Structure 1
């Protein structure tokens, strides 16, 4: 898996790209949380869930279905509890879906693990992309330390951080009429 840092960075970046106004910052944080959330399945290791099972790591929680359900559920909750303060429903849904789905995309680009069950529960096959430059992160806080952490963070700085920075700068330069008309 990629680290929580890489996942959160991509989620927050998507938040800025889709909801760039300053009052939307809380939604960026929610997107960052959605991008990290699929790794809650690691609790299964403590409960004896087999890695390659439906409920195992990179299984159902990393699927497109999970991203659809989470985004839909969160948008429904937002509409129920904060009806006047949320961004447009479709845009918020798209953000939360993409942020959650981005988790599996990054994990499928890592150098380890069993792959990602994108089509779970209908298809148990786990997938990796042909391009896998991101160093796999050790599972667990205790293992994510020292040289292992530096190796992962260095890899994510290049393969997640730089693309996010390019997208953010591109949005800033080309994304607003003020940027294009300023002299």
Structure 2
């Protein structure tokens, strides 16, 4: 089974051209990552930064009213959904959040790696959706739009009216089952493991 489908091919049109997983799901993934890897850190800045990092790639939809086409380099699911962009955002984000002993220290690198992983989850989750164009994961080096062979997540409509429609609620239900619950389960499991270890 091929790993990807090239630009211009859609898995499922769903009568909509512009579609995404909901921003809520990306935010939940970012928050869950903080609670899993930085459970003792109650910094609102860290949680907010992780949630924004996870959601940020979808800011590319602002290009639609400016005439940026879906399949363009800076179009939706294009460069801003790439692994390279996640790396750039991670380096910038760690400059704001990190309060450790020094730049490029072990703690700094771990923090940068954390934000990189959080940012990269956006494109990877989008590649699991069943509609729209694929994700330019390797941009700017390769503009191919990728999907995973398995695409269980229904795409969410862009726009508040459509998001609150039956389609939007259907998508939320699927995302809750496929992403939210597993994320909460991982956080809960890590909390139980830590409590068990501290009780010994």
More helix by share: 1
Please indicate, yes or no, whether the TM-score normalized by the shorter chain is above 0.5.
yes
Q: What is the total number of aligned residue pairs between the two structures?
A: 177
Query: In the alignment, does 2:186 pair up with 1:167?
Result: yes
| Runs (4+) off by over 6 Å | none
**Aligned match of 1:179:** 196
Residues 30 and 47 in structure 2, CA contact (< 8 A), matched pair in contact too:
yes
Return the match for 2:125 from 78, 101, 106: 106
Structure 2, unmatched stretches of 5+, are: 1-19, 102-106
Q: Report the TM-score when normalising by structure 1.
A: 0.89
Give the unaligned 5+ runs of structure 1: none
1:124 aligns with 2:143: yes
Name the CA distance, whole Å, in 2 between partners of 1:29 and 1:13.
Answer: 12
Residue of structure 1 equivalent to 2:27: 8
- Residue pair 2:70, 2:76 contacting (<8 A) in 1 also: yes
In 2, the alpha carbon distance for the partners of 1:118 and 1:179 equals: 39
Superposed CA RMSD in Å reads 1.9
Q: Which residue of 2 aligns with 1:23?
A: 42
Give 2:51's match in structure 1, choosing from 32, 48, 54: 32
- Report the Cα offset of residue 43 of structure 1: 0.8
Q: What is the TM-score normalised by the length of structure 2?
A: 0.82
* Higher relative contact order (Cα pairs below 8 Å, separated by 6+ residues): 2
Q: Which residue of 2 aligns with 1:63?
A: 82
Cα contact 2:100–2:108 (8 A) shared by 1: no
1:155 aligned residue (174, 177, 197) = 174
Q: For 2:158 and 2:94, how far apart are their aligned partners in 1?
A: 30
